[in-house]
């Protein structure tokens, strides 16, 4: 197809797949398809449906997946939120979904992809910490757009930080006490706040206290210049940013960088866009 977009970005999430097509920095189209506990077949069909007749040999495809990738980045070894993705040969699945193997395929996780898009689109400098708050909790740290990795493609498993809130103890989905994901993951919020939890959360609620504590820990470890909340929940917490920043800054460690900023993402497609951008590198 002579008019095929130069890059396709695919973001496999816990409840939906998001797909974008980019030519350079120009967004050509975007689409989303929802599912529930999908396996390989359902994921393939969801991507095909999102592309919606635009199949072709895209110059490059970026794919971001939830969970731990193997060393060769060919399969997901562990995915709490999309267990049907574990063991699936990712390159084969994408080739089937888009109508042929792309010339370039870049596989990463949703947090790094979101961070890459935010860093590039907002023309940031310095160190960026992105917290991807959605079905689960992920994180990325980028220095001048380059990811910092500690384990696999992660700067550390921040969703499993013990951020226990006094009076609201819990065991997280990974079995760990006081995990951030146990407080602010989608399932926990659904159980405690019902539909549209972002509009119901207040600064004194345990999920926000837990989030503030997690960011305080991250300041001690990573010393970011910028902190951005992304993911389906993160981009909808903009109304709480002033109160959240106050919680974080109250007796914050003195090694935190002066003048650090706190912001929220502005698109459900950050990860898909970032994956497409990364595939073109």
Give pLDDT tens digits for 97-109: 988 888 899 999 8
Residues 146 and 251 in one domain: yes
Domain match, 219 and 131 both: yes
- Does any domain span residue 275? no
How confident is the model at residue 81, as a pLDDT?
77
Kind of pairing between the strands at 127-133 and 137-143: antiparallel
Q: What is the mean pLDDT of residues 187-200?
A: 93
d(CA 59, CA 21): 11
- Mean per-residue pLDDT for 6-24? 91
Whether pLDDT at 152 is above 80 = no
Highest mean pLDDT among 34-38, 53-57, 195-199, 277-281: 195-199
pLDDT digits (tens, 9 = 90+) for 207-220: 999 999 999 999 99
**Does residue 193 share a domain with residue 94?**
no
Q: Is residue 276 part of a domain?
A: no
Please count the structural domains in the chain. Answer: 2
Residue where one domain finishes, among candidates 67, 91, 108: 108
Tell me, yes or no, whether 272 lies in a domain: no
Taking all residues of the chain, what is their mean pLDDT, rounded to a whole number? Answer: 91
Q: Indicate if 84 and 219 belong to the same structural domain.
A: no
**Residue 126 exposed, middle or buried by CB count within 10 Å (0-12, 13-18, 19+):** middle
Question: For residue 1, what pLDDT band results from cuts at 50, 70 and 90?
Answer: very low
For residue 61, the SS3 value is: strand
- The alpha carbons of the chain give a radius of gyration, in whole angstroms, of 18
Is the distance from CB of 268 to CB of 235 less than 8 angstroms?
Answer: yes
CATH of the domain at 84: 3.30.420.40
Confidence check: pLDDT of 246 > 70: yes
Rounded distance between C-alpha atoms, residue 182 and residue 184, angstroms = 6
- Mean per-residue pLDDT, 129-144: 93
> CA-to-CA distance for 205 and 267, rounded, in angstroms?
25
Output the six-digit token pair for 241. 């940013």
DSSP annotation of 126 reads S
| Domain residue limits at 38 | 7-108
**pLDDT band (50, 70, 90) for residue 91:** very high
Confidence band of 3 (pLDDT split at 50, 70, 90): low
Give the DSSP letter string of 67-96. SEEPTTSSSEEE-SS-GGGBT--HHHHHHH
Q: Domain ends where: 108, 141, 162?
A: 108
Taking each helix axis as running N to C, give the angle between helix 186-193 and helix 206-222, from 0 to 180 degrees, rounded to the nearest 10: 150
Res 10 pLDDT > 70: yes
């Amino acid at each position: 197809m002579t008019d095929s977009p130069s890059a396709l970005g695919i973001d496999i999430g816990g409840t939906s797949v998001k797909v974008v097509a980019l030519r350079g920095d120009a967004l050509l189209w975007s689409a989303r398809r929802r599912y529930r506990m999908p396996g390989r077949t359902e994921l393939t069909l969801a991507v095909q449906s999102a592309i919606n007749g635009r199949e072709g040999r895209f110059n490059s495809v970026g794919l971001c997946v939830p969970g731990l990738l193997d060393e060769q980045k060919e399969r997901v070894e562990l995915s709490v939120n999309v267990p049907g993705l574990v063991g699936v040969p990712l390159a084969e699945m994408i080739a089937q979904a888009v109508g042929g193997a792309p010339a370039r395929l870049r596989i990463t996780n949703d947090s790094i992809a979101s961070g890459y898009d935010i860093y590039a689109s907002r023309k940031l400098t310095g160190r960026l910490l992105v917290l991807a708050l959605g079905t689960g909790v992920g994180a990325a740290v980028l220095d001048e757009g380059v990811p910092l990795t500690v384990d696999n493609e992660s700067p550390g498993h921040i969703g499993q930080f013990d951020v226990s809130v006094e009076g609201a103890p819990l065991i997280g989905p990974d079995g760990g006490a006081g995990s951030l994901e146990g407080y602010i993951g989608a399932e926990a919020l659904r159980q405690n706040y019902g539909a549209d939890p972002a509009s119901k959360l207040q600064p004194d609620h345990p999920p926000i206290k837990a989030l503030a504590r997690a960011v305080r820990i991250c300041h001690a470890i990573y010393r970011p210049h910028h902190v951005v909340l992304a993911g389906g929940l993160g981009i909808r917490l903009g109304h709480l940013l002033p109160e959240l920043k106050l919680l974080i800054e109250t007796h914050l460690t003195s090694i935190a960088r002066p003048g650090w900023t706190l912001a929220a993402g502005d698109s459900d497609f950050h990860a898909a866009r970032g994956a497409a951008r990364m595939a073109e590198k």
